[in-house]
């Protein structure tokens, strides 16, 4: 079945929805699925821009054949080599052996390593252009957004940017494919979770790309995931700008790990004291239940972070350690931190929290509190002190 949709005259969206995969990159949950967006330009030359994930190849190639109406593919632009977009390259080459692959110097070693493809290559550099008939393709390098080879392709005649993963989103395209055809409220968390989890480590490269591409007139941004942006372009660019500068709103994320409930009680107490101080954006997460992707997403939103863990085998609880490792790996910047815990005898979590704070260079706003067993009046006072110190710093 041909599922292609014309988005501009002779330019087609050729994406597929994936509602079966549970976890993206074998790590990130996909409760609302994900779409892989490929695009085709039919001009004097025919051009495919990125492909789709391998499991949906048959549907994809059927739609592509229908769009091309018997013509071959002349060019395949590989803006990004990650297999959710390069997965159909070998099949595409088998069907259209004369096509030329367009990429940059960092694309082609990956192409050979992944798929053994090493011929009919056209290397492009920053600012290079290629005439394809009535249109021009202009290529801009956006390294580490989010891979080293990543580039974007701009069509000045249509003011259209093929942006690879940038401005992408988790979530399938349920009917509509444009930002004004889909329920953006429904996708809200998936848009920010995609940024924070997939792109979030690369704030500086994102800032560099925004500056480089900032002067281009844009009528559409065609990402490789999520909706095509045409009505809310300024809004999504503004959000990328804010996220990649690590700018946050007033709010506090409390994440805790608790075996017998005492650490959770402390988390709830701190949350209550924050609310009494007027903080409205409070998110409390149990690291044993909530995947780090959601907690990290909230941490990208809110400046305050309060972490609590019970002792476990003389150290920190494993699911809290996973969250800390994720945050360290991403190098998330610009947060205020407090931490607490609970032990039965020798303690455990506090040294790990201290090392985390030092590594992240987050300001610790309060003395840590490691309570022993059931919560005592002195622990309640300590929880109150943590909340008050956080609010004071948030409002400085």
Q: Which residue lies nearer to ligand FEO by CB, 2 or 113?
A: 113
Q: State the residues that interact with ligand FEO by CB under 6 A.
A: 80, 82, 84-85, 146, 165, 224-225
Q: Which residue lies nearer to ligand FEO by CB, 38 or 258?
A: 38
CB of 322 to ligand FEO, least distance (A): 22
Tell me how far apart the alpha carbons of residues 32 and 117 are, in angstroms, rounded to a whole number.
Answer: 34
CB of 224 to ligand FEO, least distance (A): 5
Report DSSP letters for 112-152, one per residue.
Answer: HHHH---SSEEE--TT-EEE-SS-EEEEEE-TTSSSTT-EE
CB of 32 to ligand FEO, least distance (A): 15
Sorted by sequence, the CB contacts under 8 Å of residue 272 that are 6+ apart come out as none
Q: Are strands 151-155 and 136-141 parallel, antiparallel or unpaired?
A: antiparallel
CB of 166 to ligand FEO, least distance (A): 10
CB of 180 to ligand FEO, least distance (A): 23
Q: Which residue lies nearer to ligand FEO by CB, 225 or 291?
A: 225
Q: Which DSSP symbol is given to 225?
A: S
Q: Which residue lies nearer to ligand FEO by CB, 74 or 84?
A: 84
Tell me how far apart the alpha carbons of residues 120 and 149 are, in angstroms, rounded to a whole number.
Answer: 18
Q: With both helix axes pointing from N to C terminus, report the angle between 318-330 and 349-360 in degrees, rounded to the nearest 10.
A: 10
Q: Which residue lies nearer to ligand FEO by CB, 37 or 265?
A: 37
- Cβ-closest residue to ligand FEO? 82
CB of 79 to ligand FEO, least distance (A): 10
Q: Which residue lies nearer to ligand FEO by CB, 18 or 82?
A: 82
| Nearest in space to 50 (alpha carbons), one of 82, 72, 22, 28 | 82
Angle subtended at Cα 290 by Cα 286 and Cα 294, rounded to the nearest 5 degrees: 115
3-state secondary structure at position 54: helix
């Amino acid at each position: 079945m041909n599922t292609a949709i014309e988005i501009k005259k002779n330019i087609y969206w050729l994406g597929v929805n994936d509602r079966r995969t549970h976890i993206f990159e074998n790590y990130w949950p996909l409760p609302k699925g994900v779409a892989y967006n490929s695009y085709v330009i039919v001009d004097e030359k025919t051009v495919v821009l990125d492909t789709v994930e391998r499991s949906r190849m048959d549907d994809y190639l059927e739609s592509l054949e229908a769009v091309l109406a018997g013509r071959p593919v002349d060019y395949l632009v590989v803006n990004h080599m990650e297999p959710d977009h390069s997965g159909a390259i070998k099949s595409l080459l088998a069907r259209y052996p004369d096509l030329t692959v367009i990429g940059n110097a960092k694309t082609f070693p990956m192409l050979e390593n992944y798929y053994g493809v090493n011929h009919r290559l056209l290397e492009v550099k920053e600012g290079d252009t290629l005439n394809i008939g009535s249109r021009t393709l202009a290529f801009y390098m956006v390294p580490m957004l989010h891979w080293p080879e990543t580039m974007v392709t701009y069509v000045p005649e249509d003011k259209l940017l093929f942006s690879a993963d940038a401005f992408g989103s988790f979530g399938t395209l349920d009917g509509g494919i444009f930002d004004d055809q889909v329920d953006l409220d429904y996708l809200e968390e998936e848009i920010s979770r995609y940024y924070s989890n997939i792109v979030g480590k690369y704030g500086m490269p994102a800032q560099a790309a925004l500056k480089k591409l900032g002067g281009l007139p844009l009528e559409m941004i065609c990402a490789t995931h999520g909706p095509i942006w045409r009505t809310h372009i300024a809004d999504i660019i503004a959000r990328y700008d804010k996220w990649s500068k690590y700018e946050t709103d007033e709010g506090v994320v409390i994440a805790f790990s608790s075996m017998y409930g005492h650490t959770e009680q402390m988390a709830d107490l701190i949350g209550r004291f924050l609310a009494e101080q007027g903080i409205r954006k409070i998110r409390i997460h149990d690291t044993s239940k909530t995947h780090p992707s959601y907690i990290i997403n909230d941490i990208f939103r809110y400046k305050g972070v309060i972490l609590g863990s019970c002792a476990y085998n003389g150290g920190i609880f494993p699911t809290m350690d996973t969250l800390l490792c994720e945050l360290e790996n991403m190098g998330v910047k610009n947060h205020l931190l407090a931490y607490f815990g609970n032990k039965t005898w020798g303690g455990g979590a506090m040294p790990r929290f201290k090392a985390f704070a030092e590594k992240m260079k987050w300001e610790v706003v309060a003395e840590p509190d490691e309570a022993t067993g059931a919560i005592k009046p002195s622990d309640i006072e300590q929880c109150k002190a943590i909340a008050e110190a956080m609010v004071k710093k948030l409002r400085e």
